[in-house]
Amino acid sequence: MGHLDEAAFAAQLAPCTGCGGGRHELYSVIDQWVPVMLAEAAGDPRWIHDGEKFIDGTYRIECADCHRVGFRSEDCPRCHAAGALPAALATGSRLHVPRKCPTCGENQLAVTALVPSKTVHTGGPARPKPIAELGDDGFHVLSVVCDTCGVIAEVGDDCPLCGAAGPIRPRP
């Protein structure tokens, strides 16, 4: 579990103590699936997280009106390495996407990644917007899959965000 559990997360979504506003900007590192062709994004990405993973990856919550920060953590949301998040958001993925499958030569692959996002919460469901895209700093590839061959590349035992040596927390 991240630094917030469901109760603490819900408490952060109460009206702002600074201005009374009810809109919040939520910053989280969450799972995304991206189709690629020749190592470039080739279609619409899809968010593949659930509510628990969204809360687990949340690193900042602030009022959308007055920008009062209610919650902030600079620890890695994946392994809790102290102060590791700023560097993770400022560096590229350690796992690179090949142009083609090394086994069959297929040039259409799929990437699963941990992606920083911003969501404006107004009380109901809201769609996250990515802060980084494939190839940008902060976009961290977890795995690359070929439809024919299956998983052709995936991160090792170190944290996929910050590179810290284990233990890596199990995700909800």
Per-residue pLDDT 10s for the chain (172 aa) are 678 999 999 999 999 999 999 999 999 999 999 999 999 999 999 999 988 899 999 999 999 999 999 999 999 998 889 999 999 999 999 999 999 999 999 999 999 999 999 999 998 888 999 999 999 999 999 999 999 999 999 998 889 999 998 656 666 5
Whole-prediction pTM: 0.92
> How many other β-carbons are positioned within 10 Å of the β-carbon of residue 12?
17
Query: For residue 125, what pLDDT is reported?
Result: 83
Query: For residue 156, what pLDDT is reported?
Result: 87
Query: For residue 168, what pLDDT is reported?
Result: 66
Q: Is the distance from CB of 134 to CB of 112 less than 8 angstroms? A: no
DSSP string computed for 117-158: EEEEESSS----EES--TTSTT-EEEEEEETTTEEEEE--SS
Q: Where are the domains positioned within the chain?
A: 6-13+23-154
Query: For residue 3, what pLDDT is reported?
Result: 87
pLDDT tens readout for residues 36-61: 999 999 999 999 998 889 999 999 99
Q: Is the distance from CB of 58 to CB of 93 less than 8 angstroms? A: no
Euclidean distance between CA atoms 79 and 2, whole angstroms? 9
Euclidean distance between CA atoms 127 and 18, whole angstroms? 25
